[in-house]
Amino acid sequence: MTAIVSARGLTRRYGEGEVAVDALVDVGVDFDAARFAAIMGPSGSGKSTLLNLLAGIDRPTRGSIRIGDTEISSLSERALAGWRARHIGFIFQLYNLIPVLTAFENVELPLLLTNLSKKQRRDHVMTALNIVGLGDREKHYPRQLSGGQEQRVAIARAIVTDPTLLLADEPTGDLDAKSGGEVLTLLQRLNQEFRKTIIMVTHDPHAAERATHTLHLEKGTLVEQALAGA
């Protein structure tokens, strides 16, 4: 496989002087295309920090991140925002849906930044909703959906632009076991059937078992990498 993500020497320091905290220390990692990777570790190990750096939401204090042909750590803020809109689909633990918008309107949001026509946007949104099994819920508001359905709408929003990377931060952390299992099965399907590259942060070993590749962080340092079944 070809590495679609290559990070080298990643360090992220918060604060200065005696109160400085290193959330990540000299982390180097590659992620191959069409792989489903799980990043594990205890609270405070740097999992979400690493995910936010890969998403271009945060910037490293030192180090470099190349995704595809783009060195994102050297982009300007404006260029980075545009790159992120085209290449990153982010799935949050608490869904981050807008309560006053329908499922359709929530999924459509990323497309409003594109040059697609109204009909093209509708086609894309309904394709994404159908993939997650909610094509019949397009007019429902978040309050009319279960937690599992809300997360599936959030996943549809993340995939509607056909991004290079799907990044998921504890995507089952707010769900019961049944709904969480359904979300993980959906992520597996996106990886296996649609060949999406997925990087998921989780503290749940059962969730990590669904991935093809696992990484373990301890105190901001990468301590282990393994293929599934290795």
**Domain carrying residue 155:** 34-59+78-227
DSSP state of 101: S
In this prediction, residues 158-167 reach a mean pLDDT of 97
pLDDT band at 2, cuts 50/70/90? Answer: confident
For residues 177-206, average pLDDT: 96
What pTM was computed for the model? 0.93
Mean pLDDT for the stretch of residues 121-147:
98
Q: Examine the pLDDT at 186 and tell me if it is beyond 50.
A: yes
- pLDDT per residue over 60-93, tens digit each? 999 999 999 999 989 999 999 999 999 999 999 9
The percent of residues above 70 in pLDDT, for the chain, comes to: 98
- The answer for residues whose C-beta is within 8 angstroms of residue 63's C-beta and 6 or more apart is 7, 8, 9, 10, 11, 26, 27, 73
Structure tokens given for 125: 């949104």
Is the pLDDT assigned to residue 229 strictly greater than 60?
no
pLDDT confidence of residue 174: 93
140 in a domain, yes or no?
yes
Q: State mean pLDDT over 96-111.
A: 97
pLDDT of 37 strictly over 80: yes
Query: Is 223 inside any structural domain?
Result: yes
Q: State residue 1's pLDDT score.
A: 60
pLDDT in the model for residue 225? 78
- Distance between CA atoms of 197 and 176, rounded to whole angstroms? 25
Asked whether residue 67 is assigned to any structural domain, the reply reads no
Q: Do strands 165-169 and 88-91 pair parallel, antiparallel, or not at all (unpaired)?
A: parallel
Helix ranges (H only) for the chain are 47-55, 77-87, 103-108, 118-131, 147-159, 177-192, 205-208
pLDDT at residue 193, as a whole number: 96
- For residue 55, give Cα distances in angstroms to 51, 83, 214: 6, 10, 18
What average pLDDT does this structure show over 12-35?
Answer: 93
Q: What is the pLDDT of residue 18?
A: 86
Please return the burial class of 195, using the count of CB atoms within 10 Å of its CB with bins 0-12, 13-18 and 19+: exposed
With 70 as the cut, is the pLDDT of residue 50 above it? yes
The pLDDT-based confidence of 230 (bands split at 50, 70, 90) is very low
Q: Residue 43 domain-assigned?
A: yes
Kindly state whether residue 123 falls inside one of the protein's structural domains.
Answer: yes
d(CA 72, CA 4): 13
What pLDDT does residue 149 have?
A: 98
Average pLDDT, the chain: 94
Q: Is position 217 within any domain? A: yes
Helices 177-192/147-159 angle, 10° precision: 20
- Structural domain includes residue 10: no
* Total domains, the chain: 1
- Looking up residue 39, the CATH number of its domain turns out to be 3.40.50.300
Flag whether pLDDT at 29 surpasses 60: yes
**207 lies in a domain?**
yes
State the pLDDT at residue 228: 59
C-alpha dihedral, 179 to 183 to 186 to 191, nearest 10°: -160
